[in-house]
Amino acid sequence: MKLAYYPGCVSQSTGKEMDASTRAVCTALGIEIEELADWNCCGATHVSNELVATGLAARNMAQTDLPIMTACSICYSNLRAAEERLKEPEVLTKVNAVLDKKYRGAEVRHALDVMLEAMPEGDERIVLPLKGLLVAPYYGCLLTRPAGLYSAEFPVILETLIKRLEAEPVDFRKKTACCGGPIFMPQENAADDIAFGILSEAKRAGAEVIVTVCPLCHLMLDAKQKILEQKKGEKIGIPVLYVTQLVGIALGLGPEELGLFMNTVSPMGIVEKAYERMGNES
């Protein structure tokens, strides 16, 4: 499988582990990725101006004829939304008028579904099946809305992936709720309440780990977890992994490769537990 890879700006800053694990997992699964040579913002910084946002996305998408993969839900959502809008001849004409390389249609994919496709059931490359690990599948809002390909409220693709790794998805009621990230700047308290609500729901559901598909969700749930615990006076202590990191663990990739040391709440406990379980079984 050969794809163009769109890392997105977060891959250069707070989401380095997302980028690292994506590349590592692709290598391990034999997915050939070619980074877009001259990528720019996906449009997220200009969502208030639909045309500019669409133009930014189109400039990325015009660079390749391959399907484009991204691991970030924000980028995914923006590129997909642009793909839809560019089906309107009027928008297409306006956008192409300012592009050097003209947009001629594109296919955008999230790393989540690329990995699922590349990793059939019972894949022998899953050397560390995550048997018994209770995982909260957290989709956040942008993977499925507004232009996602999955059910907006009741998607199941993450659950499918979790099961494929032989882990166990918990019944996680807030799986498609917003993480609070988008209102973090203007309404910090409200954003904190929302993020904490998601963490407590994961705890209630008995999750040992939360898996995310979006760097903003990851920031809210992982990087802010300690601060939120202090603010609310309640311990959570659940590691939050990018879906690519979770897959990487099951594929037996090392913590360095997967950027596991960059996570704020250390996931090393669950990795060790997984190895222990495997040891006990054999």
Residue located via tokens 């311990």: 235
Between 121 and 154, CB nearer to another protein: 154
From the CB of 253, what's the least distance to another protein, in Å?
A: 36
Residue among 153, 234, 256, 276 that touches another protein (CB under 8 A)? 153
Residue located via tokens 């997302």: 18
The answer to whether 173 contacts another protein (rule: CB under 8 A) is yes
The answer to whether 154 contacts another protein (rule: CB under 8 A) is yes
Between 12 and 151, CB nearer to another protein: 151
Between 197 and 255, CB nearer to another protein: 197
Rg (CA), the chain: 19
Size of the site for another protein (CB under 8 A): 6
* 19, 24, 28, 30: CA torsion to nearest 10: 50
The answer to whether 84 contacts another protein (rule: CB under 8 A) is no
Sheet holding 240-242, edge to edge: 168-169, 134-137, 209-212, 240-242
Interface region with another protein, contact rule CB under 8 A, candidates 2-10, 75-83, 89-97, 152-160: 152-160
The answer to whether 151 contacts another protein (rule: CB under 8 A) is yes
The answer to whether 12 contacts another protein (rule: CB under 8 A) is no
State the residues that interact with another protein by CB under 8 A. 146, 151-154, 173
